[in-house]
Every structure is written in C-alpha cells, then in structure tokens.
C-alpha cells in the first residue's frame, strides 16, 4: 500500500495495489485494448510489480546509505572518481525511460565511503521521476552533505526516450549535465583533471 498526498485537499490517501491495477486496466481500455483478453489479464499486476522496481527510490534514504564511512585511509586527500555507473530513470514529463551513465567524484576531508555506496546513491535518486538536471544536483548535494567532502562532481550522459521515441524523434541525441560543489567548483584545475579522468 502506498501513501499518496492529495495536493488539492492536502490529505494523505492510501492507494492499494488493487486500486493501482484497476487504474492500469482503465488505461489499457483507453488505448483501445481489451484488458480481459488472455495476453493482458495479468498485465496490470505485472506493471505494478515493474513500477515498484522502477520507482523504489521513493522509499530509500541516501543519507542512510552514506552513514558508514572509513577514516583509516592514511591521509588520502585526492579525488575519488567512479566512472560509468549505469543509470536508468524515468522523466517526470512523459514517464519515458532515461538511459545513460553517471560519473561521480569527491575529495574526502577525513573519511571515505565504500565504493558501492556511490553507485547506490545514484540508484536511489534515479529510481524516481526525474529531470536530468535535478537528478545531477541531488546526487552531488547528497554526497557533499553526508560525506562532509571538500568537493563533489557529478556528470550524467544519457538518452531520453521522450525525445527519441516520440516528439522530435532524434534517436542519436544525448544530454550531458554537470554539477560541481566545493573545490571542483572553485578550482578549474581540479575540475579539468576530473573531466580528463571521465573522458578516458
């Protein structure tokens, strides 16, 4: 069961799986299909299961993921760069897939975080309805705040199926966003080193 805020009435509504499945049956009927035919009878249930996976980020807290850090790094104070983190999200305007990669870097102050946690933070924010610009900023700010880092850089390079499969239909178009905090924003030499790392 999901809790959904009704912005019109400022109330919290409970939405069950059955109610959500019925909504998808209505959509199937709306597009001209017969929701009762053999191939579609179980489709609403399967879509609900898929949506729980697509949008599981709403139930996860990135700060919890970044709670455990390590101080035994013998004074390491250069950037940590993780490249080519696969990314799948959905745009909030058409609910169409966003497919691409994220590159994440941070400069630790005193402590570092497990490498898998960087990819997990990308996952949490990408598993929500998004714009790429906001997604890039959310990842960067979460890392900066939770790690108390000297600087953070995030780059996302992705394809938006809302413009490759519909609308303008430019199949080869990709979108790149960058967001810098701390030393990455203040020092162009550090920023340029980062950009060289992720371009290799």
Out of 21, 90, 91, 138, which one is annotated catalytic?
Answer: 91
Out of 130, 138, 160, 191, which one is annotated catalytic?
Answer: 160
123 catalytic? Reply is no
DSSP β-ladder status, 69-70 and 2-6: unpaired
DSSP per position, 70-98: E--STT--S-EEEEEEEEEEEETTT--EE
DSSP β-ladder status, 80-91 and 2-6: unpaired
90 catalytic? Reply is no
14 catalytic? Reply is no
Out of 19, 22, 92, 133, which one is annotated catalytic?
Answer: 92
92 catalytic? Reply is yes
132 catalytic? Reply is yes
91 catalytic? Reply is yes
160 catalytic? Reply is yes
Out of 138, 162, 183, 191, which one is annotated catalytic?
Answer: 162
**CA 110/CA 61 separation, integer angstroms:** 23
Out of 132, 138, 183, 191, which one is annotated catalytic?
Answer: 132
- Local structure of 57: helix, strand or coil: helix
Out of 33, 82, 88, 94, which one is annotated catalytic?
Answer: 94
**Active-site amino acid positions:** 91-94, 132, 160, 162
């Amino acid at each position: 069961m999901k809790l959904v805020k009704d912005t019109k009435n400022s109330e919290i509504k409970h939405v069950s799986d059955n109610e959500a499945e019925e909504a998808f049956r209505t959509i199937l009927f709306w597009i001209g299909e017969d929701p009762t035919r053999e191939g579609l009878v179980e489709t609403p249930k399967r879509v609900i299961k898929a949506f729980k996976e697509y949008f599981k980020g709403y139930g996860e807290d990135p700060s919890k993921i970044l709670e455990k850090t390590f101080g035994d790094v013998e004074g390491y104070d250069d950037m940590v760069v993780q490249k080519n983190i696969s990314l799948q999200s959905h745009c909030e305007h058409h609910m169409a897939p966003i497919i691409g990669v994220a590159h994440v870097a941070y400069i630790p102050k005193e402590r570092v975080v497990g490498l898998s946690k960087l990819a997990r933070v990308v996952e949490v924010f990408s598993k929500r309805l998004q714009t790429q610009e906001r997604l890039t900023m959310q990842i960067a700010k979460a890392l900066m705040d939770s790690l108390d880092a000297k600087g953070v850089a995030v780059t996302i390079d992705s394809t938006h199926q809302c413009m490759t499969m519909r609308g303008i239909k430019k199949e080869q178009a990709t979108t790149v966003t960058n967001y810098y905090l701390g030393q990455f924003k203040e020092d162009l030499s550090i920023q340029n080193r980062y950009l060289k790392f992720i371009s290799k």
